[in-house]
């Protein structure tokens, strides 16, 4: 321990101020010059610097607040507390209802996923539309294809069955017109009737076109909604899986640490013996 063998003025206060760099430039220069000649002060300054080094290692307990984790759990959204199976069931139910509303028909073949909507035409025979049932216009007016990666591009297929139904209707109307032309009516009347039927046919086509466009819009909207909800559910499930994996990793880490700690203690105990 340092013995008091130095008579430097205000020695203790000067050493402390020197240690914490609170000496003005002039006094600092003086004391530095003194240190070159005084081993007592030099040793003491070095010793007190060592104390400061040790003090830097004094850490308050690391407070990893359990309150914060409790608070973060309590802040979780209500839906995070619903079991995963219930969330999946809800998503499927929503998808089913959406499909029902849109009267969706979903097929999966080599061309990818195909979704078709519209009023169903259950009476269509194996011979194709119009082969056996000519009583009405096919109401299956449009189809949409959803490619891989949930691509929601929507558009009428080239072989849509409603086109053949429409062609059959056109042929039927023409046949009736021809029959009327060969009948007993006046030529003038026949020309007038022909003109009127052509106008009717044009109107039917316009109405069908408008109906098709409206349904395309509705289907695009519903498919987008379904895709969005499925994606949202997927994100939730991924987060849940991440969270669970994190807990498992933490548990494993703690177990490993406990074992290492035990081994260390055993090793130290064996060293002492």
Partner 1 sequence: MSIEAVSRPSPHMTWTDEELVAKSIRGDAESFNELVLRWERPIYALAYRTIGREEDARDVCQETFLRAFRALPGFRGQAKFSSWLYRIALNLCRDWIRRERRTPVVQPPEDVDLLELAAASEPSESIEDLVARQDLSRVVERAMALLPEEQRTAIVLKEFHGLTFQEIADLVGCPLSTIKTRLYQGLTVLRRELAKNPTTKGTML
For partner 1, what does the binding mask look like between residues 217 and 256, x meaning CB under 8 A?
------------------------------------xx--
Q: Which stretch binds partner 1 (CB under 8 A): 46-54, 94-102, 107-115, 172-180?
A: 46-54
- The H or E element containing residue 15 is helix 11-19
- The H or E element containing residue 44 is helix 39-55
Q: Cβ-count burial of 93 within 10 angstroms (0-12 exposed, 13-18 middle, 19+ buried)?
A: exposed
Q: Which stretch binds partner 1 (CB under 8 A): 7-15, 127-135, 195-203, 235-243?
A: 7-15
Nearer to partner 1, 72 or 77 (CB): 72
Q: Single out the residue of 37, 54, 74, 188 in contact with partner 1 (rule: CB under 8 A).
A: 54
Give the count of residues interacting with partner 1 (CB under 8 A): 39
User: What does the alpha-carbon distance between residue 167 and residue 206 come to, in Å, rounded to a whole number?
Assistant: 15
User: What does the alpha-carbon distance between residue 87 and residue 219 come to, in Å, rounded to a whole number?
Assistant: 24
Q: Single out the residue of 25, 55, 184, 269 in contact with partner 1 (rule: CB under 8 A).
A: 55
Q: Which residue has the tokens 């086109």?
A: 163
Q: DSSP string spanning 69-118?
A: HHHHHHTS-GGGGS-HHHHHHHHHHHHHHHHHHHT-EEEEETTEEEEEES
Q: How far is the CB of 214 from partner 1 (least distance, A)?
A: 47
Q: Which stretch binds partner 1 (CB under 8 A): 57-65, 144-152, 164-172, 188-196?
A: 57-65
Tokens of 31: 């004391």
User: What does the alpha-carbon distance between residue 216 and residue 22 come to, in Å, rounded to a whole number?
Assistant: 80
Phi, psi (degrees; rounded to nearest 5) at 220: -60, -40
Q: How far is the CB of 248 from partner 1 (least distance, A)?
A: 16
Instruction: Give yes or no for a contact between 255 and 182, defined as CB atoms under 8 angstroms apart.
Output: no
Nearer to partner 1, 61 or 126 (CB): 61
| 59 makes contact with partner 1 (CB under 8 A) | yes
Binding region for partner 1 (CB under 8 A): 1, 12-13, 15-17, 19-20, 22, 43, 46-48, 50-65, 67-68, 71, 253-254, 257-258, 260-261, 264
């Amino acid at each position: 321990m340092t013995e008091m063998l130095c008579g430097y003025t205000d020695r203790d206060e000067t050493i402390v101020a020197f240690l914490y760099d609170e000496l003005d430039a002039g006094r600092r220069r003086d004391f530095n010059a003194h240190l070159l000649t005084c081993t007592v002060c030099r040793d003491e300054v070095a010793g007190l610097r060592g104390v400061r080094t040790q003090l830097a290692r004094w850490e308050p307990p690391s407070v990893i607040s359990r309150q914060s984790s409790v608070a973060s759990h309590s802040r979780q959204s209500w839906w995070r507390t619903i079991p995963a199976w219930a969330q999946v069931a809800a998503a499927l139910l929503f998808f089913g209802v959406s499909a029902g509303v849109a009267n969706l028909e979903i097929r999966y073949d080599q061309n990818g996923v195909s979704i078709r909507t519209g009023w169903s035409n259950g009476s269509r025979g194996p011979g194709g539309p119009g082969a056996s049932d000519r009583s009405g216009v096919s109401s299956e007016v449009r189809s949409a294809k959803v490619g891989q990666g949930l691509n929601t591009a929507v558009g009428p297929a080239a072989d849509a069955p409603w086109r053949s139904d429409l062609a059959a209707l056109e042929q039927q109307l023409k046949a009736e017109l021809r029959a009327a032309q060969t009948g007993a009516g006046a030529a003038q009347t026949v020309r007038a009737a022909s003109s009127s039927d052509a106008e009717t046919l044009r109107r039917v086509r316009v109405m069908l076109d408008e109906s098709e466009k409206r349904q395309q819009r509705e289907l695009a909207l519903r498919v987008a909604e379904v895709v969005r909800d499925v994606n949202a559910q997927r994100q939730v499930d991924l987060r849940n899986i991440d969270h669970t994996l994190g807990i498992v990793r933490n548990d494993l880490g703690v177990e490993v640490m406990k074992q290492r700690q035990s081994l260390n203690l055993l090793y130290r105990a064996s060293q002492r013996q």
